[in-house]
Structure 1
Amino acid sequence: MSKLGKIVILNGTPRSGKSSIAITIQNTFEGLWMNLGVDHFMKMTPENYQPGIGLRPGGERPDLEPIIIQIYKAMYESIAAHSRIGINVVVDVGHHDRYSVPRKILPNCARILKKYPVVFVGVHCPIEEIMKRRKDTWGTGYAKNGAIPEPVKRWQHYVHIPGIYDLEVDTSIMSSDECAHLIHQKLKDLPSQTAFQLIGGIE
């Protein structure tokens, strides 16, 4: 049996810097690192099921939620399959449970990888910086009245629940290289009880 490939899961809001960290990991870590993140799964999802696992918090599309559960399971089973044959995997994702009803997707996904070498990373970024990046990237920012849009606030609140991580980084004060360096060190020194083992025990 091949040595298990290492797994890094980056969890945070859109525009928090997850993708930049993932690219740095792929370009600088030893060995082959495949990116199985949310953007790639969204690209594979047919238009009538969009945004798939990119669905934002708020319970806006209960009709999609059973499909989202299936896609997340497929994503994590794919991560496990890559690891089993010795391929390293980095995943950038935004987990939340603010659907029309609680779906417990993160605990169920964590149980799939409970025996795998996973580093679960909380990627934080203050909402003011998120707004700046949204405007710089997409040309959209604050509402007409100057308020932060409700979907942005919901992402900021719900993506880090329950807040159990092996490592947390703040991309407003750290570069992607600095974040990747900390992740690399954590991979060398995994705790006996990882965040995914703890999260997988949540009912």
Structure 2
Amino acid sequence: MTLGQIVVVNGTSGSGKSTTCELFQKTREDYWLLYGIDHFTAQTLPAKFGHHGPLAAQGIEAVPVDPADPDGPLRWRFGPEGTKAFAALHEWMAATSRQGLNVVFDHLLMSDPPVLQDLVARTEGLPVLLVTLKPPFEVLERRVAERRMDKKIPTDLLGEDAAAKIIDRLTRLRPWFYEEVYRNAVSDLTIDTSVHGPEAVCAMISARLAQGPGTAFDELRAA
């Protein structure tokens, strides 16, 4: 069976990765599955094990970057359930390709926790195109500031004041996300989405796919 193509679109909140993936699937003539990190963390994972929940230490926990500064920037730390969940997510992506299905996925490819390393290992031998969307940090900050951040917040689980707490936590996570998600400079395509709109980005991805398989994951394995 012919292997399906995997397209991983990496970038932080506000980079345009979800919009790009949705438009890519909609405008392609061939068959593509669509999934992403927001679907995964907000709808697949149980909220009480998320970084806003009471059992976050077992799943995905937001902890201070500097333990001596508890009110400063935050970072993610995975507990045992969070580690297994991301492994299962990546196995699903690999299984999709092995079934001959294409999948486009928006992701947060952090190196610590080792999300990037896990995905690279589990997709060995499969065709993966790695696309990085990286506008300037100030553009990301402006885009995020213009968004509604209180949608789908489980106030029944976390309390009525959850929105303010979560918005504060996300604000404190953003500097670390920017540094961590873009730490890896190896990519098949790196696009500044402050310059290129979603239609142009999708066209660039399709044009790169027409040139043949991506090589970024092979380069990372070799390194």
User: Which of the five TM-score ranges fits, normalised by the shorter chain?
Assistant: 0.7 to 0.9
Q: Which runs of 5+ in 1 are unaligned?
A: 141-148
Partner of 1:132: 142
- 1:117 corresponds in structure 2 to 127
Contact 1:11 1:94 in 2 (8 A): yes
Shift of 1:61: 5.7
For the pair shown, the structure with the greater C-alpha radius of gyration is 2
Structure 1 residues 60 and 19: alpha-carbon distance in aligned structure 2, compared to 1, 3 A threshold: closer
1:173 to 1:197, Cα distance in 2 relative to 1, 3 A: same
Deviation at 1:53, TM superposition (A): 6.4
**Pair 1:200 & 2:214 matched:** no
Q: Measured at CA, do residues 61 and 9 of structure 1 come closer, stay the same or move farther in structure 2, by a change above 3 Å?
A: closer
CA gap of 1:172–1:189, structure 2 versus 1, over 3 A, is same
State the TM-score, normalizing by the size of structure 2: 0.75
Within the alignment, does 1:92 sit opposite 2:92 as a pair?
no
* Match of residue 175 from structure 1: 197
| Cα RMSD after superposing both structures | 2.5
Q: Which residue of 179, 182, 186 corresponds with 2:208?
A: 186
SS in 2 for 1:69: helix
Q: 1:122 to 1:44 in 2, by over 3 A?
A: same
After the TM superposition, which segments of 4 or more aligned residues of structure 1 sit over 3 Å from their partners?
51-62
In structure 1, give the amino acid aligned to 2:50: Q
Q: Distance in 2 between matches of 1:133 and 1:54?
A: 25
1:31 aligns with 2:30: yes
Q: Confirm or deny: 8 A CA contact 1:8 1:90 kept in the other structure.
A: yes
* Alignment size in residue pairs: 187
Structure 1 residues 33 and 55: CA distance shift in structure 2, 3 A: farther
Provide, for residues 131-164 of structure 1, a one-character-per-residue CA deviation record: whole Å limited to 9, x for no partner: 1111211369xxxxxxxx5532222211112211
> What are the superposed Cα offsets for residues 117-139 of structure 1, whole Å, 9 maximum, x if unpaired?
11101110111111111121136
Q: Which amino acid aligns with 1:92?
A: D
Q: Which amino acid aligns with 1:119?
A: L
Amino acid at match of 1:44: T
> Are the aligned partners of 2:32 and 2:102 in contact in 1 as well (CA < 8 Å)?
yes
Name the residue aligned to 1:49: 49
Distance 1:173 1:61, change over 3 A: closer
Q: Compare 111-120 and 165-174 and name the one that shifted more.
A: 111-120
Give the TM-score normalised by structure 1. 0.82
Contact 2:94 2:122 in 1 (8 A): yes
Deviation of 1:179 (Å): 0.6
State the partner residue of 1:21: 20
Residue equivalent to 2:184: 162
What SS does the aligned partner of 1:137 have? coil
Paired residue type of 2:180: Y
The sequence identity of aligned pairs, in percent, is 29
The 1:36–1:200 alpha-carbon spacing in structure 2 relative to 1, beyond 3 Å, is farther
**Mind listing any 5+ residue stretches in structure 2 that lack a counterpart?**
52-58, 66-73, 151-170
Q: Report the 3-state secondary structure (helix = DSSP H, G, I; strand = E; otherwise coil) of the residue aligned with 2:4.
A: coil
Q: Secondary structure at the match of 1:81?
A: helix
1:5–1:88 CA contact under 8 A, matched in 2: yes
